[in-house]
C-alpha cells in the first residue's frame, strides 16, 4: 500500500520541480506561507540585500516562483488553498490572479481563527485571516464547495413516521424572476387534500385545486414540473397555512435530511467560524497533545479537514510550507474516519529552530525535525505509514531516519 504521508526536507522551490511520476498530478495544494508580519524578512532568496526591494516586493518575489511551481504540479481537476492575513492578502490576491488567471478565482474565505481577537497593540482586535481559493481550471475542477459537516440537523425539525428527518420547502418558486410570463410551463394547477396531505396532478376525491401564488396573491410558478410531481408524490404534502390574507391551502416539498447517497451536503459559506474549524488555541493544544508545544503558529486540523472535504477522498494533497505537519495529520484523520485513500506530500526546509525555544529544548534543531516528529507520531497512532526524503545536491534521497 502507498503511504498516506510523505515528508521531504528541503527548500520548496528546489523540491517542487522534483515532484514527478506518481507525485506529479496533485489534486489539492494547501499552503500556509510565512505571513510577512514585519519581523526581519527571513525568506528572501536572491533578493537578500537589495535595498530597493520593499517588504511586499520581497515577499511577492519569494512567492511568485513557488506558486508557479505549484501550479505546474496541479492536475487540471485540482485546486489550491492559501492561508494569508492582512499583511499580504491584497498582494497575494493579485499575484494569484496573475499566476492562476482571474477566471479561476473561487473564493476568499474569512477564517475566524482567533475568536478572542488580537489584544496586542492599538486598533482593532483582529479575529480572522483568509483562505484564497483558486482552481487550476475552473471549468474542470472537481472541487465541491460543500460539506457534509455544514448540515445542521436542527434545520430539519420534522420527523416522518418512518423516522426520517425533513423540513418543509414551498413547492412554489419564491424567486420573483420566475413567474407565469418567464416560466409559462411551470404555471399549472395541482390537486391536494390538506387533511390527508396527498398531492396529485389530477383531481381526486376530496381534493382542492391549487394554483401557485406569491404571498401577495399574484400568480407564481412551481419549482417542479408536472411529470416530476407524478414521479415523487411521496415527497410532497398539502397543508393549510396562515398567509397574509388569511388561511390558504398550499403544497410543500418534504426536504429530507438524507436524500443523496452518502448524506446531504450543504454549500460552504465564505465565513468559517472557530467553533466549526478550530482556532489557533485548539491547534496549539492538538500539537501539544501529540508531540509537545514545539511550534508557535500551527493551523487546526479542523481547518484542513474542511478543505479536504471539498475534494474526492482519494486526493493527492501537497503542503509545501508544512511547518508542524498539520496537513499530513489532517489527511490521516480524514482517512481513518471515512476509509479514504488520500495521500499527502509535506515539504519543509531545515530552517533552524530558535535557540532556547521549546523545540530546541526538545532536541528538534530544525523545523523539518518538527514536521518529521509529528508525522511519525501520526503514523504510529493512526497508521498509514510515512516515507521520509531529504533534498541534497539537487536530488531526493531517503532520510536516514535520525
Ligand X SMILES: C[S@@+](CC[C@H](N)C(=O)[O-])C[C@H]1O[C@@H](n2cnc3c(N)ncnc32)[C@H](O)[C@@H]1O
Calpha distance 313→45 (Å, rounded): 36
Q: Which span sits near ligand X by CB under 6 A: 155-163, 274-282, 293-301, 309-317?
A: 293-301
Select 173 or 371, whichever has its Cβ closest to ligand X: 371
Interface residue with ligand X, options 141, 147, 349, 373 (CB under 6 A): 349
**Residue 367 within binding range of ligand X, rule CB under 6 A:** yes
Calpha distance 271→115 (Å, rounded): 13
- Min dist CB 48 to ligand X, Å, is 13
- Min dist CB 378 to ligand X, Å, is 13
**Residue 11 within binding range of ligand X, rule CB under 6 A:** yes
At residue 343's C-alpha, the angle toward residues 128 and 76, to 5°, is 80
- Min dist CB 333 to ligand X, Å, is 14
Per-residue b/e over 196-232, b at no fewer than 16 CB within 10 Å? eebbbeeeeeebeebebebeeeeebbbbbeeeebeee
Closest residue to ligand X: CB criterion = 323
Interface residue with ligand X, options 41, 43, 105, 214 (CB under 6 A): 43
**Residue 68 within binding range of ligand X, rule CB under 6 A:** no
**Residue 302 within binding range of ligand X, rule CB under 6 A:** no
Long-range contacts of 396-400, Cβ-Cβ distance < 8 Å, separation of 24 or more: 396/8, 396/10, 396/15, 396/18, 399/7, 399/9, 399/372
CA distances from 308 to 43, 110, 167, 260, 311 (A): 28, 17, 29, 20, 6
Select 93 or 299, whichever has its Cβ closest to ligand X: 299
Q: Which span sits near ligand X by CB under 6 A: 70-78, 172-180, 228-236, 322-330?
A: 322-330
- Among residues 221, 232, 237, 306, the alpha carbon closest in space to that of 265 is found at 306
**Residue 32 within binding range of ligand X, rule CB under 6 A:** yes
Residue with cell 479537514: 305
Report the chain's terminal Cα–Cα distance, integer Å: 24
Calpha distance 327→190 (Å, rounded): 53
62 contacts 35 by C-beta, under 8 angstroms: no
185-214 positions binding ligand X, by CB under 6 A: none
Q: Which span sits near ligand X by CB under 6 A: 136-144, 195-203, 249-257, 344-352?
A: 344-352
Phi, psi dihedral angles at 388 (to 5 degrees): -120, 130
Q: What's CA 284's distance to the chain center, in Å?
A: 21
**Residue 298 within binding range of ligand X, rule CB under 6 A:** yes
Positive or negative, the Cα torsion across 95, 97, 99, 100? positive
- Min dist CB 12 to ligand X, Å, is 4
**Residue 347 within binding range of ligand X, rule CB under 6 A:** yes
Q: Which span sits near ligand X by CB under 6 A: 111-119, 142-150, 295-303, 379-387?
A: 295-303
Select 78 or 325, whichever has its Cβ closest to ligand X: 325
Interface residue with ligand X, options 255, 276, 351, 362 (CB under 6 A): 351
Enumerate the β-bridge partners of residue 132.
Answer: 82, 108
**Residue 12 within binding range of ligand X, rule CB under 6 A:** yes
Q: Which span sits near ligand X by CB under 6 A: 46-54, 90-98, 104-112, 323-331?
A: 323-331
Q: Which span sits near ligand X by CB under 6 A: 27-35, 125-133, 140-148, 234-242?
A: 27-35
Select 82 or 236, whichever has its Cβ closest to ligand X: 82
Phi, psi dihedral angles at 155 (to 5 degrees): -70, -10
**Residue 179, number of CB atoms within 10 A of its CB:** 18
- Min dist CB 131 to ligand X, Å, is 12
Number of residues binding to ligand X, judged by CB under 6 A: 20
**Site residues, ligand X (CB under 6 A):** 11-13, 32-34, 43, 295, 297-299, 321, 323-324, 326, 347-349, 351, 367
Amino acid at each position: 500500500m502507498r503511504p498516506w504521508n510523505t515528508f521531504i526536507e528541503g527548500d520548496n522551490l528546489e523540491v517542487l520541480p522534483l515532484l514527478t511520476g506518481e507525485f506529479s498530478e496533485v489534486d489539492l495544494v494547501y499552503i500556509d506561507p510565512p505571513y510577512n508580519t514585519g519581523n526581519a524578512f527571513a525568506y528572501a532568496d536572491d533578493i537578500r540585500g537589495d535595498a530597493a526591494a520593499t517588504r511586499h516586493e520581497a515577499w511577492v518575489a519569494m512567492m511568485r516562483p513557488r506558486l508557479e511551481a505549484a501550479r505546474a504540479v496541479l492536475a487540471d481537476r485540482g485546486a489550491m488553498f492559501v492561508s494569508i492575513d492582512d499583511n499580504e492578502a491584497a498582494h497575494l490576491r493579485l499575484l494569484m490572479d496573475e499566476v492562476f488567471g482571474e477566471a479561476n478565482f473561487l473564493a476568499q474565505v474569512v477564517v475566524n481563527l482567533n475568536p478572542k481577537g488580537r489584544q496586542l497593540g492599538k486598533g482593532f482586535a483582529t479575529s480572522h485571516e483568509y483562505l484564497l481559493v483558486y482552481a487550476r481550471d475552473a471549468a474542470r475542477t472537481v472541487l465541491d464547495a460543500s460539506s457534509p459537516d455544514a448540515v445542521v440537523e436542527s434545520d430539519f425539525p420534522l420527523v416522518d413516521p418512518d423516522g426520517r428527518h425533513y423540513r418543509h420547502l414551498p413547492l412554489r418558486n419564491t424567486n420573483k424572476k420566475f413567474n407565469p410570463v418567464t416560466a409559462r410551463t411551470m404555471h399549472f394547477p395541482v390537486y391536494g387534500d390538506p387533511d390527508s396531505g396527498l398531492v396529485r396532478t389530477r383531481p381526486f376525491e376530496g381534493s382542492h385545486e391549487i394554483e401557485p401564488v406569491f404571498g401577495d396573491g399574484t400568480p407564481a410558478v412551481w419549482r417542479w414540473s408536472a411529470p416530476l410531481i407524478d414521479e415523487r408524490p411521496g415527497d410532497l404534502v398539502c397543508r393549510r397555512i396562515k398567509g397574509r390574507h388569511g388561511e390558504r391551502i398550499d403544497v410543500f416539498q418534504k426536504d429530507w435530511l438524507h436524500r443523496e447517497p452518502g448524506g446531504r451536503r450543504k454549500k460552504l459559506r465564505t465565513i468559517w467560524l472557530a467553533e466549526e474549524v478550530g482556532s489557533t488555541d485548539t491547534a496549539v493544544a492538538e500539537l501539544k497533545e501529540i508531540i509537545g508545544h514545539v511550534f508557535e503558529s500551527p493551523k487546526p486540523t479542523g481547518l484542513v479537514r474542511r478543505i479536504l472535504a471539498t475534494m474526492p477522498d482519494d486526493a493527492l494533497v501537497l503542503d509545501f510550507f508544512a511547518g508542524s505537519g498539520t496537513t499530513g495529520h489532517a489527511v490521516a484523520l480524514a482517512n481513518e474516519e471515512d476509509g479514504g485513500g488520500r495521500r499527502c506530500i509535506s515539504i519543509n526546509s531545515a530552517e533552524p529552530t530558535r535557540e532556547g525555544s521549546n523545540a530546541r529544548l526538545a532536541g528538534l534543531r530544525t523545523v523539518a525535525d518538527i514536521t518529521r516528529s509529528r508525522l511519525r507520531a501520526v503514523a504510529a497512532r493512526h497508521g498509514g505509514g510515512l516515507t521520509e526524503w531529504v533534498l541534497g545536491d539537487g536530488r531526493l534521497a531517503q532520510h536516514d531516519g535520525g
